[in-house]
Structure 1
Amino acid sequence: MIQHKYIDGICLGGGIGAAALVIWLLLFGRQVIPAATAAPGYVSRLFDESRVHTIDIRVEDWGAFVARAEEKEYVPCTVEIDGTEFYQVGLRAKGSNSLRLIGEYGLSRYSMVLEFDHYLEGGNYYGLDKLSLDTSFQDNSYLKAYLAYDMMDFMGVPAPLCSYTWVTVNGTDWGLFLATEEPEEAFARRNFGAEYGQLYKPDYRSLSAENADVALRYIDDDPDSYPNLFDNARFSPTEEDKKRLIAALKTLSTGENLETAVDVDQVLRYFTVQVFVMNWDSYLGHTGHNYFLYEQDGIISILPWDYNLAFGTYALGMPNPIRDPNIIINYPINTPAEGSVMLNRPLYHNLMQNETYFQRYHAYFDQLLSDYFESGRFETLVRQVEKRIAPYAEQDPTAFCSAQDHRQAVDTLVELCLLRADSIRGQLDGTIPATLREQEERPGVGVDASAVALEDLGDFDDLRAAREKQEAALEAVLSEAGN
């Protein structure tokens, strides 16, 4: 029993103080207690873009992890981010074609996933449940994904946060990676609030299959007809969730009353950027994947993902890959894919059949060109980021290219984007053909891009040349572990 001659006064004072605190919080608490939708702690930490961050991955057997990377199985690790340690974090390699090709070329620099709640329920990095480390595969500039996400954000499309980080493995240098917020619970909460909807990452099981669900085509009312959607849900969808999504796809298929099923404005903004960056490893490409689908209250929208093969450098899976920079940089904005692909991509095609939406799509292109490119914002941003990451790119022990190749790739990407902006400006004002048919009727009309060497952005020759360097970096990690 507590004995104090002033105990009654203390208790009374404590009670009054507690009551006052409750009243104060009720009246003013919203000013100091972050709401569930307020910016979580990870936004101002790892995703502070003003500097290059540090991540040390401590794993028991790095050699075994690299050797079994293509299995994409998780292993536990300790992660130190900017000096703060996190234990029992799930680590695995990520990717599809990039994962396969890195293995085929005998390389070891894989993109990776760090999942903080894989082994520990509720585990997180200041509110973030999962992040990925992008290896910049076939991207000698290290800038493709960064720029694509920045453009999406600029146009008001919910996009993953990203920042550059210097990765070490068990204290030994491994390279410069792009840390990216993975779209899961934290991403959904940050962008859509505590009562967020359903999130899917549609993906094909086989390229030879029809994959109608990946293309967001309505098949029938049976959820079992959409395995590439529902088997790739980020959250566990209920039967009602499935019915709502199927109903939205059914409405989309009709081309009528689209605003009852589609967040039209957001989707148009997304396609504006998507078409600008010429990303054919995407919904508008032959594979039709590499995007996220968000649904809430029966309204669907599309979210950006995976841009290492953007800016005209995608060739995997295409029957006749486009190599001519004049064709790529002048690629038409009104028919950004072949007819057989366009007709099977209702989220783009059916919206563009509506004249009001079509004109809004053009208006968003005008906004992107005027405010992002023609204003000088784009070049300023690129040169700022280039200066920030240059020292790290120069000493990257597992880089797919040399420091000189990196500098050349940055300059090439800048030139490509500015020429692409000039071409689209011409397409908007009618001086350059804006459809594939018009281009056939007026061959050779467009900006002259013959001086652009697309292979400077990253090619298969770089993979062959990187093998010796990456073998040495792997050996350095393993040797240090042996000591």
Structure 2
Amino acid sequence: MIRHRHIDRICAAAILLALILTGLLCFGEVLGLRPASAAPGYASRLFDDDRVHTVDLRVEDWAAFLENAPAEEYIPCTAVIDGEEFYQVGLRAKGNNSLRLTEEYGLSRYSLKLEFDHYVDGGNYHGLDKLSLDASFQDNSYLKTYLAYHMMAYMEAPAPLCSYAWVTVNGAPWGLFLAIEEPEEAFARRNFGPDHGALYKPDYHSLNAENADVALWYTGDDPALYPNIFDNAKFSTDGADRERLIQALRVLSTGEDLETAINVDEVLRYFTVQVFVMNWDSYLGHTGHNYFLYEEDGVISILPWDYNLAFGTYALGMTDPIRDPDVLINWPINTPARGETMLKRPLYHNLMKNNDYFARYHAYFDHLLTEYFESGRYEAVIRQTQAMIAPYVQADPTAFCSYEDHLLAVDTLLEVCRLRSESVRGQLEGDYPATLAQWAERPVFGVDASHVDLRALGDFDDLEAARERQDEAAAVVE
């Protein structure tokens, strides 16, 4: 028998401790503790970005898959990730402009999607339902998308996890890809908890249409007016879900009481990075797409997606491209789109008409410049990552460029980041124009970027030269 003169107190203390621990387990998220769903198993496995992972795709007929890739239809495959086998995984090509151009140029290096629950109900990779393998199309540095997501995460904007993967097909080398967590169920649980809200990927059916819903315009209360949003819901939605989102768009259209319908702080952090990286294949561009829309309890926010044409290289997707690096790298942060586009982007335009939000937007730019760029953090991220992937880029049998061109692209990206940060700093301090209207008033409008050739980051000439290399790699796959 236990004998102790303080046994009653010890027992009482033990009971109290047990109650406290139980409370933390039940209410830890309310108290600010990170829930288990925020750190799923896949985050520390495939998305450990301190090393290059391996993904072997075992496909019955790879030649047939490549021939039918533009149709974006799933086929079953076995995916072996870091030596671990996953059976009956859905595999298809992905992309929009990149997929079209890959086919048009007779190439075979498509970006890919792996969907673990496509054929097997509940199938997953340590909790992950879907991932992408990004081909770094028109990105000779292999770094544009990785760096943009790194910046988003640094600014605490919910961003997909990503890491590099050496991809083989039936054991034969296929190339270095960027593995990216697809924003679906697992992404929502990780970022917003098990009781997360609704997630959409607004996209146009035709560029010739108005696409007001993709631009997040309120056009009425009928859900049928928003097909480009609701037809692209990632989860099942009901009438209440649609009503909440439409109500948020109505509030946004008024420009008043925006914090009742918009996660203002998160949206401002998103736009800080979005504008810095000069990505016009986005909400702020002509197409207005390439973003995810999240809604919870009637409050919406915008989430990042697709950065292969960032850092001033969207000219590659324009019929009348702007290629002048002085113009692109000094692009104004206060009017990051031309007037006819800006007025049609209420999630940016209506927020920036509020003086408090506008000042907060500038404060976030100051933080990004001070802590990420002027501190040298960006250079460390680029150089350390490039050193890690260098042997794989050098051996990449389907690369869009030579290894020498890759090195040139990395140096170019470093210079673009350095000059862009100097330009933005000058805009914040009033030394350089921060609006398109101010540009017209000043003959010299920013940093001298005339020595930068943005084509080094990836251009059509690279696509012309890559076909033979990719054909040879495809011929080796059995």
If the length of structure 1 is used for normalisation, what is the TM-score?
0.92
Matched, 1:260 2:260: yes
User: 8 Å contact 1:287–1:317 — kept in the other structure?
Assistant: no
Which residue in the other structure is 1:245 paired with?
245
Q: Please give the secondary structure, in 2, of the residue aligned with 1:315.
A: helix
Q: Please give the secondary structure, in 1, of the residue aligned with 2:37.
A: coil
Which residue in the other structure is 1:414 paired with?
414
Aligned equivalents of 1:445 and 1:192: distance in 2?
42
Aligned equivalents of 1:416 and 1:162: distance in 2?
22
- 1:295-310 matches, cutoff 5 A: 295-310=295-310
Residue type at the aligned position of 2:90? G
Aligned equivalents of 1:38 and 1:440: distance in 2?
48
User: 8 Å contact 1:286–1:317 — kept in the other structure?
Assistant: no
Matched, 1:190 2:190: yes
Shift of 1:55: 0.2
Which residue in the other structure is 1:124 paired with?
124
Shift of 1:381: 1.0
Shift of 1:321: 1.6
Aligned equivalents of 1:25 and 1:125: distance in 2?
34
Matched, 1:280 2:280: yes
Which residue in the other structure is 2:213 paired with?
213
Q: Please give the secondary structure, in 2, of the residue aligned with 1:173.
A: strand
Aligned equivalents of 1:52 and 1:31: distance in 2?
35
Which residue in the other structure is 1:391 paired with?
391
Q: 1:24 to 1:92 in 2, by over 3 A?
A: farther
Report the identity percentage: 70
Which residue in the other structure is 2:31 paired with?
none
Which residue in the other structure is 2:53 paired with?
53
- 1:270-349 matches, cutoff 5 A: 270-315=270-315, 318=318, 320-349=320-349
Shift of 1:240: 0.3
Q: 1:35 to 1:254 in 2, by over 3 A?
A: closer
Q: 1:251 to 1:165 in 2, by over 3 A?
A: same
Which residue in the other structure is 1:427 paired with?
427
Shift of 1:38: 3.8
Shift of 1:444: 2.3
Q: Please give the secondary structure, in 1, of the residue aligned with 2:315.
A: coil
User: 8 Å contact 2:203–2:228 — kept in the other structure?
Assistant: yes
Q: Please give the secondary structure, in 1, of the residue aligned with 2:199.
A: strand
Aligned equivalents of 1:414 and 1:54: distance in 2?
27
Aligned equivalents of 1:42 and 1:412: distance in 2?
33
Q: Please give the secondary structure, in 1, of the residue aligned with 2:132.
A: strand
Aligned equivalents of 2:474 and 2:225: distance in 1?
44
Which residue in the other structure is 2:43 paired with?
43
User: 8 Å contact 2:200–2:232 — kept in the other structure?
Assistant: yes
Matched, 1:95 2:95: yes
Q: Please give the secondary structure, in 2, of the residue aligned with 1:202.
A: coil
Q: 1:55 to 1:469 in 2, by over 3 A?
A: same
Q: Please give the secondary structure, in 2, of the residue aligned with 1:438.
A: helix
User: 8 Å contact 2:38–2:189 — kept in the other structure?
Assistant: no
Shift of 1:25: 8.4
User: 8 Å contact 2:165–2:176 — kept in the other structure?
Assistant: yes
- 1:95-244 matches, cutoff 5 A: 95-244=95-244
Which residue in the other structure is 1:70 paired with?
70
Residue type at the aligned position of 2:323? R
Q: 1:24 to 1:91 in 2, by over 3 A?
A: farther
Shift of 1:213: 0.1
**After superposition, what is the alpha-carbon deviation per residue over 1:239-281, rounded to whole angstroms, capped at 9, x for unaligned?**
1000000000000000001001000000000000000000000
Which residue in the other structure is 1:472 paired with?
472
User: 8 Å contact 1:139–1:308 — kept in the other structure?
Assistant: yes
**After superposition, what is the alpha-carbon deviation per residue over 1:6-31, rounded to whole angstroms, capped at 9, x for unaligned?**
xxxxxxxxxxxxxxxxx998775767
Aligned equivalents of 2:25 and 2:293: distance in 1?
34
Q: Please give the secondary structure, in 2, of the residue aligned with 1:178.
A: strand
The alignment of Structure 1 onto Structure 2 pairs a total of residues equal to: 457
Q: Please give the secondary structure, in 1, of the residue aligned with 2:112.
A: strand
Aligned equivalents of 2:257 and 2:250: distance in 1?
11
User: 8 Å contact 2:316–2:459 — kept in the other structure?
Assistant: no
- Superposition RMSD on alpha carbons, in Å? 1.7
Aligned equivalents of 1:213 and 1:75: distance in 2?
32
Which residue in the other structure is 1:17 paired with?
none
If the length of structure 2 is used for normalisation, what is the TM-score?
0.93
Which residue in the other structure is 1:13 paired with?
none
User: 8 Å contact 1:270–1:302 — kept in the other structure?
Assistant: yes
